[in-house]
Amino acid sequence: MKGDFPIGKFSEIETPFYYYDTDLLRKTLREINAEAGKYDGFCVHYAVKANANPKLLNVICQAGLGADCVSGGEVKAAVDSGFSPDKIVFAGVGKSEKEINLALDKNIFCFNVESEPELDVINELAGKKGKVARVAFRINPNVGAHTHANITTGLAENKFGIAMCDMERIIEKTLALANVKFVGLHFHIGSQILDMGDFAALCNRINDLQSRLEARHVKVENINVGGGLGIDYTHPNKVPLPDFKAYFGTYARHLKLRKGQKLHFELGRSVVGQCGTLVSRVLYVKQGTAKQFAIIDAGMTDLIRPALYQAYHKIENITSDGPMTTYDIVGPICESSDVFAKAMDVNECHRGDMLAIRSAGAYGEIMASQYNCRPLPKGYTTEDLL
C-alpha cells in the first residue's frame, strides 16, 4: 500500500518539500498521553531538536507535552511556540553564557548539567541575577544501546554527561553552592532504540545509583531518562505508531521510583518521525553501466540521514503504477554520499514522477542546509493543504 497523500495538492507545490500528516501526529500524541497517563508521575517532554517546525511545535504543545531543548535557540523556539517555561528542560555539553542567561531569564524548569565547570558557570550567572537555578545532573550511565554508533550517547567513551564515579561528589558540592539547587538526575543513552532491553538496562543502572544516593540521604525529586525510542523505518504504513505501551511499560516495571518522584521522558523521533514525508520529483532516469539511477530534486541538503548514518528510508513512487523497477535513488548535490537508497524497488520512474521519502519527520527538515546555494525546503501540514 502507498501512503495516503493529497497528490492533487502536492502537484501545485514546488518540490522538494516536507509534508507533515498532522492527523497522524495528533494520533501519536494521544497514544503517548494514554500510555504515559497510566502511571503516576510520568511527564513527557518533546525533544525539540528532532523537528522545530513551529506548526508542529504548536500541535505538540497543545497536547500538553513539555519541551527538551539543547540550545538557547531551542529554548526560545519552545517558549515562542507556547511551551510553559516550567515544563522546559535544557541539556547540552556546551551551553554558552548567552544561552544560560536566556534560560535563566525565561525561568525554565531545569538545566541538565553535563560537567562540573558548567555547574560553576550556571551558579555564577544565576548569582549575578539573584536567582537560584534548578539543576539536574546528566549522568553517563555507561549503558550501550543496540543502535548506530553515531547515535549511541550513553557509553563512557561518549562526550555526554558526568561520570558515575563523580556523581556523589558533584551533588554534595552543589548542596553547598548558593545559586543552584539540585533537583534530579538525567540520562539519555541514544536514539532509534527498538530493543526494550536497552531501556531496562538503563533502569537497572538508575536503581543502583539511587541506592547509592539514598545511603547518603540525598533526595532526588526527578529522574529524567531522556528519549531514544525508535520508529519502524521499513514499514511506515503498517506500523505508523511506535510501541509506546511497551516503552512506558518497561520503565514502569523496571525503574524503582521513590514516593513522590517524577519520571521525565524526552521523546523526539518517536513523536514526529512517522508523520513527515519528503516529497521530491524525478528529474532524470539515467542508465549507468551496471545500474539505473533515478535522479531526484531532493538531496542530502534536504535530508541528510542517509548520507550521515546510512539510514534507511522507505521510498514510494506515488504517481506511477508501472512495474516495480530497481534504482539507485540519488540527489543532485556534488557529493558521492548524496544517495537516498541503493537498489531500491519502486514503481517504474519517469521524469516528473513524485517520490515520497517516508518517515522523514525527525532529523529531516531541521538538519537541512543551504550547501550548493540551495534554498531550504519548506514544510506543509495537512491543514495547510486543505
Quick check: 91 binds ligand PLP (CB under 6 A)?
Answer: yes
Q: Which of 17, 19, 65, 68 binds ligand PLP (CB under 6 A)?
A: 68
Q: Which of 29, 43, 48, 50 binds ligand PLP (CB under 6 A)?
A: 50
Positions in 115-134 near ligand PLP (CB under 6 A): none
- Cβ proximity to ligand PLP: between 159 and 235 the closer is 159
Q: Which of 184, 227, 276, 331 binds ligand PLP (CB under 6 A)?
A: 227
The cell numbers describing 242, all together, are 511506535
The DSSP-derived string for 80-131 is HTT--GGGEEE--TT--HHHHHHHHHHT-SEEEE-SHHHHHHHHHHHHHTT-
Shortest distance (Å) from residue 151 CB to ligand PLP = 7
Quick check: 250 binds ligand PLP (CB under 6 A)?
Answer: no
**232 vs 239, 312, 360, CA distance in Å?**
6, 10, 11
Shortest distance (Å) from residue 229 CB to ligand PLP = 6
Query: Residue 182's beta-bridge partner residues?
Result: 135
Separation of alpha carbons 296 and 308, rounded Å: 18
Q: Which of 47, 278, 346, 368 binds ligand PLP (CB under 6 A)?
A: 47
String of contacts with ligand PLP for each residue 181-210, x by CB under 6 A: -------x--x-------------------
Q: Residue 298 corresponds to which amino acid? A: A
Contact assessment for residue 308 and residue 363, using Cβ atoms and an 8 Å cutoff: no
**227 vs 83, 154, 359, CA distance in Å?**
18, 12, 18
Quick check: 225 binds ligand PLP (CB under 6 A)?
Answer: no
Quick check: 243 binds ligand PLP (CB under 6 A)?
Answer: no
Q: Give the three-state DSSP class for 327.
A: strand
Q: Candidates 22-30, 161-169, 210-218, 225-233 — which segment interacts with ligand PLP by CB under 6 A?
A: 225-233
Shortest distance (Å) from residue 281 CB to ligand PLP = 29
Picking from 49, 60, 142, the residue whose alpha carbon sits closest to that of residue 89 is 49
Shortest distance (Å) from residue 147 CB to ligand PLP = 9
Q: Candidates 14-22, 164-172, 222-230, 286-294 — which segment interacts with ligand PLP by CB under 6 A?
A: 222-230
Cβ neighbourhood burial of 159 (10 Å; 0-12, 13-18, 19+): exposed
Positions in 263-282 near ligand PLP (CB under 6 A): 266-270
- Cβ proximity to ligand PLP: between 177 and 362 the closer is 362
Q: Give the three-state DSSP class for 38.
A: coil
For residue 368, what are the contacts with CB-CB under 8 A and spacing of at least 6?
Answer: 301, 302, 303, 304, 376, 377
Size of the site for ligand PLP (CB under 6 A): 18
**329 vs 8, 156, 283, 305, CA distance in Å?**
24, 38, 11, 14
- Cβ proximity to ligand PLP: between 268 and 379 the closer is 268
- Cβ proximity to ligand PLP: between 48 and 346 the closer is 48
For residue 140, what are the contacts with CB-CB under 8 A and spacing of at least 6?
Answer: 154, 155, 156, 158, 160, 161, 162, 163, 164
Quick check: 226 binds ligand PLP (CB under 6 A)?
Answer: yes
Positions in 299-358 near ligand PLP (CB under 6 A): none
Q: Which of 66, 154, 161, 228 binds ligand PLP (CB under 6 A)?
A: 228
Cβ neighbourhood burial of 58 (10 Å; 0-12, 13-18, 19+): middle
Binding residues (CB under 6 A) for ligand PLP: these are 47, 49-50, 68, 70, 91, 188, 191, 226-229, 266-270, 362
